[in-house]
């Protein structure tokens, strides 16, 4: 979701949690940031503003793709990283057409099981094929990067049809082994509880879909209840509702996720982002719970560990796992939307230390 906001660049404030007693604890460090160009080349050879960036996926090597909300385009680029994950250059930034216009919120590379089905249905365009999560239908669509053609869709739980306007499907990620797709709405479904307020958070369903072929319904769905933090404290500078929700998921494998939360307040600082590590293995499955997640005991929600928190003059909306860094740590990249203001679109990179 994008919002037109006052263009204010704020001093970075970084919070890193203390090292846990467990020597195998995950730790996350910010490596650096780099501005994206304000205008880029389209497939027709003309220039257009680069705005509305809302999701991110790694295509391999130094190639990346970004989802653009309320559009019929994707953005691709090359990102060079130093040995510690610091971004050194962004090149070859292009806008690529899509067959249909939607409120695209996130993107992931299509898992091999779905890809094999598509390849068996000629004339399919060449890979890579992408999963695009959009919240206006809502749907997870399968598209070809080569020409933007839609090739199919991933069946999602019918409960997502009850999403709040502009707070629907916001995140999509694929497990490293390609067997499962993860998705989530930005804020709670109305039957599950309230949206975030200045004084309270919201409870969403982290959803795992196991799919082995194209079909009319998910082959297996597991959902865990996840409590999003309330909006951050800010010095009020105008009127408007505060919000807080999930904007991206990065799947780490073995039922572990990195969850990117984003809150907005009509004040200073306007944005805060938080990255949590979530291990879903011990959490209760709520896929068959019809509603009321917000009123269920706290023990029914998945536990989360804060890895990073910051308030910057940018709106981080996408997060993706990249290649391992030269120092052996795992590289992560986040993307910030400028919301149509003169705040820059931004890439923020991280290095993850894990067991």
| Residue ranges covered by each domain of the chain | 13-353
Work out the pLDDT band at 120, boundaries 50, 70, 90.
Answer: low
CA–CA gap between residue 247 and residue 154 (Å, rounded): 19
Q: Give strand pairing partners of 235.
A: 268
Which of 42-46, 121-125, 256-260, 275-279 has the lowest average pLDDT?
121-125
- Checking if the pLDDT of 231 tops 90, the result is yes
- Checking if the pLDDT of 201 tops 90, the result is yes
CA–CA gap between residue 142 and residue 278 (Å, rounded): 27
- Checking if the pLDDT of 233 tops 60, the result is yes
Phi, psi torsion values for 300, nearest 5 degrees: -85, 0
Find out whether 248 and 236 touch, Cβ atoms under 8 Å.
Answer: no
Please compute the mean of the pLDDT values over residues 301-330 and round it to a whole number.
Answer: 92
Comparing CA positions, the residue from 310, 230, 290 lying closest to residue 265 is 230
CA–CA gap between residue 171 and residue 95 (Å, rounded): 21
Find out whether 258 and 331 touch, Cβ atoms under 8 Å.
Answer: no
Comparing CA positions, the residue from 253, 354, 266 lying closest to residue 305 is 354
Q: Which CATH number fits domain 13-353: 3.40.50, 2.115.10, 1.20.1050, 2.60.40?
A: 2.115.10
Comparing CA positions, the residue from 197, 206, 278, 204 lying closest to residue 244 is 197
- Tokens read off for 344: 């820059």
Q: What is the pLDDT of residue 213?
A: 57
Q: What is the pLDDT of residue 312?
A: 65
Please compute the mean of the pLDDT values over residues 185-208 and round it to a whole number.
Answer: 95
Find where tokens 């749907």 sit: 139
- Tokens read off for 215: 């079909």
Please compute the mean of the pLDDT values over residues 300-329 and round it to a whole number.
Answer: 92
CA–CA gap between residue 196 and residue 203 (Å, rounded): 9
Find out whether 152 and 214 touch, Cβ atoms under 8 Å.
Answer: yes
More confident of the two residues 12 and 348 = 348
Sign of CA dihedral 188, 194, 195, 201: negative
- Checking if the pLDDT of 227 tops 50, the result is yes
Work out whether strand 202-210 and strand 87-102 pair parallel, antiparallel, or are unpaired.
unpaired
CA–CA gap between residue 235 and residue 209 (Å, rounded): 41
Whether omega for the bond prior to residue 36 falls within 30 degrees of 0, making it cis, is: no
CA–CA gap between residue 272 and residue 234 (Å, rounded): 10
More confident of the two residues 5 and 81 = 81
Q: What is the pLDDT of residue 211?
A: 76
Which of 100-104, 208-212, 244-248 has the lowest average pLDDT?
208-212
Find out whether 91 and 80 touch, Cβ atoms under 8 Å.
Answer: yes
Q: What is the pLDDT of residue 7?
A: 31
Work out the pLDDT band at 17, boundaries 50, 70, 90.
Answer: very low
Work out the pLDDT band at 313, boundaries 50, 70, 90.
Answer: low
Work out the pLDDT band at 319, boundaries 50, 70, 90.
Answer: very high
Which of 105-114, 132-141, 208-217, 226-235 has the lowest average pLDDT?
208-217
Which of 90-99, 230-239, 258-267, 311-320 has the lowest average pLDDT?
230-239
DSSP, res 295: G
Strand order in the sheet with 180-185: 169-174, 180-185, 202-210, 220-228
Q: What is the pLDDT of residue 217?
A: 52
What value does the mean pLDDT of the chain take?
A: 87
- Checking if the pLDDT of 11 tops 50, the result is no
pLDDT > 90: percent of the chain = 67
């Amino acid at each position: 979701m994008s919002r037109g906001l006052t263009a204010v660049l704020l001093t970075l404030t970084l919070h890193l949690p203390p090292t846990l007693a467990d020597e195998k604890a995950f730790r996350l460090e910010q490596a650096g940031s780099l501005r994206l160009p304000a205008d880029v080349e389209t497939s027709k050879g003309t220039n257009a503003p680069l705005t509305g960036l809302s999701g991110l996926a790694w295509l391999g090597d130094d190639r990346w793709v970004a989802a653009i909300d309320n559009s019929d385009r994707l953005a691709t680029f090359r990102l060079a990283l130093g040995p510690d994950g610091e971004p050194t250059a962004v090149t070859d930034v292009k806008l690529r057409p899509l067959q249909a216009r939607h409120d695209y919120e996130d993107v992931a590379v299509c898992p091999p099981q779905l890809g094999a089905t598509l390849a068996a249905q000629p004339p399919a365009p060449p890979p890579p094929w992408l999963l695009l999560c959009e919240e206006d239908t809502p749907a997870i669509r399968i598209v070809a990067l080569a020409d933007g053609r839609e090739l199919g869709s991933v069946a999602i739980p019918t409960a997502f049809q009850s999403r709040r306007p502009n707070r629907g499907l916001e995140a999509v990620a694929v497990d490293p082994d390609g067997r499962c797709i993860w998705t989530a709405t930005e804020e709670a479904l109305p039957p599950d509880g309230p949206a975030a307020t200045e004084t309270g958070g919201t409870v969403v369903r982290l959803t795992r879909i196991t799919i082995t072929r194209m079909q009319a319904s998910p082959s297996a769905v597991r959902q865990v209840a996840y409590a999003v933090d309330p909006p951050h404290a800010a010095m009020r500078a105008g009127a408007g509702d505060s919000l807080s929700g999930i904007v991206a998921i990065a799947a780490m494998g073995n039922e572990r996720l990195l969850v990117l939360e984003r809150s907005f307040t009509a004040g200073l600082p306007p944005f805060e982002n938080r990255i949590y590590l979530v291990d879903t293995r011990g959490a209760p499955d709520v896929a068959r719970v019809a509603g009321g997640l917000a009123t269920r005991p706290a023990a029914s929600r998945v536990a989360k560990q804060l890895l990073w928190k910051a308030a910057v003059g940018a709106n981080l909306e996408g997060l993706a796992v990249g290649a391992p860094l030269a120092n052996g740590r795992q590289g992560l990249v986040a993307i910030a939307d400028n919301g149509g203001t003169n705040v820059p679109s931004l890439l923020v990179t991280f290095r993850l230390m894990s067991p």
